[in-house]
Structure 1
Amino acid sequence: MSPPPLSTRQRLGRTAAIGALLAAAAGGLLYLSDRLGPARQARQFIDTLEASGARHAGYRRAHSHGVCVSGWFEPRPALAQLSRAAMFTQTRIPAQGRLSIGGGGPEAAEAAARVRSLALQLTGEDGQQWRLAMNSFPFFAMPSAEAFLEQVRAQTPDPATGKPDPAAIAALQARYPSARAFAQWARTAPWTDSWANTGYNGIHTFYFVDADGQRTPLRWSFVPLAEAQSMSEQQRQQAPANYLSTELAGRLAQGPVGWTLQLQLAEPGDVLEDPSIAWPQERRTVDAGTLWIDAMQPQQGGYCDGVNFDPTVVPDGIAISADPILAARSAVYAQSWNRRLQEQRQAAEDTP
């Protein structure tokens, strides 16, 4: 059963109580990371996103529209063979997460978003956590953190038109083949009619480390158990703003919805540190478990609201790769979380 939603006063009170401690810790971490550079780059990302209209006080700077979900994950024996993570020996691992859409603000129309996302936090009996941040696209549009920042800037709307400059987008795609490939995926991939029948991909390489210290490079996806149904452009345009949330609530009223965790194993020669390059589909895959979601609640005041779904938070038995985009995401998520926390603290202080 999912935790009951917090009232506005409870949420703001909780935020005010822990805000000073967390802000101090975050400030110290940001000071240290500033000396190494990632935090400065993360601020550039967030500043650019905010300049494009992505600042909504108290909300995430990207994928701000979403819902909290909860359920459990059932590992299969193959998972414990690849990784020594203690949680993978459990029969059931509690899962809390968030389903969201890419781009737009908190009131964005759900069916109109090309990208959908699934974030998860799995917590083992030993207290270790595995956080996953996945998207519906099969590969990343940019090959480096610097190129990613170029993309964010190119997609910033022109104040005169309210839309990105087509010339800037064209120039970006001319420089990066992966950007052209991503645009092709966006034009041609089916638009499924539910969060529940959408697949979500990790896109980054991680290493699973077994009891003997053997490291297996792999990427993962969550493959839906629900049958995919596509939406036409007319259906997307006519769908209510909260179409996906309403549709998911209807499904959950009938029972849990599930996804299979599918691990794609690397072979010699596969590019491990560039998420813009997808591995060949014929690579060996392992079905490693099933995620079940059986409850949802609004994100504001919900249990997912205060979670930073940093994909570099992993338990012993999983190791991150040297993928620069993965490192950049971690820094950007921390910057977004810190600003959101400060805004929520300020709201709590302003509440009589």
Structure 2
Amino acid sequence: MHTQKKVLASILLAVLSVGAAFAQSNPDTVQGVLPDQLVKGLNGVFGKHTGARAVHAKGIVLDGSFQPAAGAAALSKAPHFAGAGVPVRVRFSNFAGIPTVADNDAGANPRGLAVKFYLPDGTATDIVAHSFDGFPSATSADFRDLLIAIGQSGPDAAKPTALETYFGTHPKAKAFLTAPKPMPESYATLPYYGVNAFKFTNAKGKAVYGRYQFVPVASSHFLSKEQEAAAGPQFLIDEIGQRTRKAPVQFKLMLQLAERGDDLHDPSVAWPKSRKQVELGTLTVKSVVADNPSVQSKLLFLPNILPAGIEPEDPMINIRSATYPASYGARQER
């Protein structure tokens, strides 16, 4: 894209700013969580695969556009929530940090959706979401400890395993890992949740807090057990290409608004479904990008690359945004 150099510059500035973010007081920093610890923890669970992401290793990149809803600017002065639409680059993915994981493998759930919005000034902003309303851990430190416990709990591990012991004191992690996650018909027929809370400020200075949700226009559809058994290892990758060749795929980007008492700093707690949701716009996914492997290897999503009008509220956002570059750097090593 013609904005590539400016986008890369904005990413570099965001990565450099992470050091300053770590200096701020928050539970993750106090507990000494470092990005490389999380990457090593993920490698301990899935193995280290040359050139691959530490998690959500298998995916597909597509191009599209985002058109803001009429009321989006009332919530945030961010440029992509006002005026004309902007181009986007989208990556659908499977959960596991294994680039060869079969699409019909239970370990491929939850699925991921990452969106890079290319803004009018040549910079970019990102949203990272997955297909489960919640997260296994309240903080990045807890997530690191969960990864370590999983890595130490192989089939030959002594009983009780480290993971069983961890579950005893972290019931939300057990609930996340054992919750039913049905097999999707398509990447296009799943809702996706941004589990971290952000602060949104409009041009008048009024602020609200919320979490993103992508709602499929095609509605949610899942495979039967018989269909799942017959599905091939590439069925989601193949299907999204076939689907977008026939017609664009669309999602409504919604903002679930926090109410008094909702925890803004704990992504392991889903807010009640009764919370008000406001439409921010329509994401349209149009076509698979050529030379996908090369594009994916160079593509980096950082949830704290934010324009004026959006700020990170959950401390985990800055930790995640420091971890992704650590994983990115490792996968550039050939």
Q: Structure 2 vs 1, CA of residues 312 and 107 (structure 1 numbering), >3 Å: closer, same or farther?
A: same
Which residue does the alignment assign to 2:170?
176
Which residue does the alignment assign to 1:119?
114
Shift in Å, 1:328:
2.0
| d(CA) in 1 for partners of 2:33, 2:159 | 26
Residue type at the aligned position of 2:247: G
Shift in Å, 1:34:
8.8
Does residue 150 in structure 1 map to residue 145 in structure 2? yes
Give the SS at the match of 1:240: coil
Alignment match of 1:133 (pick from 114, 117, 128): 128
Q: 1:158–1:165: 8 Å Cα contact kept in structure 2?
A: no
Which residue does the alignment assign to 2:59?
66
Give the SS at the match of 1:246: helix
Deviations 1:71-120 (A, max 9, x none): 00110121111111123223211000211000141111012222100001
| d(CA) in 2 for partners of 1:291, 1:178 | 31
Q: Structure 2 vs 1, CA of residues 85 and 286 (structure 1 numbering), >3 Å: closer, same or farther?
A: same
| d(CA) in 1 for partners of 2:275, 2:98 | 38
Residue type at the aligned position of 2:330: R
Give the SS at the match of 1:180: helix
Q: Structure 2 vs 1, CA of residues 49 and 190 (structure 1 numbering), >3 Å: closer, same or farther?
A: closer
User: Percent identity between the aligned chains?
Assistant: 30
Which residue does the alignment assign to 1:308?
300
Structure 2's unaligned 5+ residue stretches are 3-8
| d(CA) in 2 for partners of 1:291, 1:50 | 32
Q: Structure 2 vs 1, CA of residues 166 and 285 (structure 1 numbering), >3 Å: closer, same or farther?
A: farther
| d(CA) in 2 for partners of 1:193, 1:320 | 33
Structure 1's unaligned 5+ residue stretches are 4-20, 348-352
Q: 1:64–1:104: 8 Å Cα contact kept in structure 2?
A: yes
Correspondence 1:255-266 to 2 at 5 A = 255-266=247-258
| d(CA) in 1 for partners of 2:97, 2:71 | 39
Shift in Å, 1:182:
1.4
Shift in Å, 1:234:
4.5
| d(CA) in 2 for partners of 1:317, 1:79 | 11
Shift in Å, 1:315:
1.1
Correspondence 1:199-238 to 2 at 5 A = 199-238=191-230
Q: 2:67–2:282: 8 Å Cα contact kept in structure 1?
A: yes
Q: 1:65–1:106: 8 Å Cα contact kept in structure 2?
A: yes
Q: 2:54–2:97: 8 Å Cα contact kept in structure 1?
A: no
Give the SS at the match of 1:71: strand
TM-score normalised according to structure 2 size: 0.86
| d(CA) in 1 for partners of 2:94, 2:186 | 12
Which residue does the alignment assign to 2:94?
101
Q: Structure 2 vs 1, CA of residues 335 and 203 (structure 1 numbering), >3 Å: closer, same or farther?
A: same
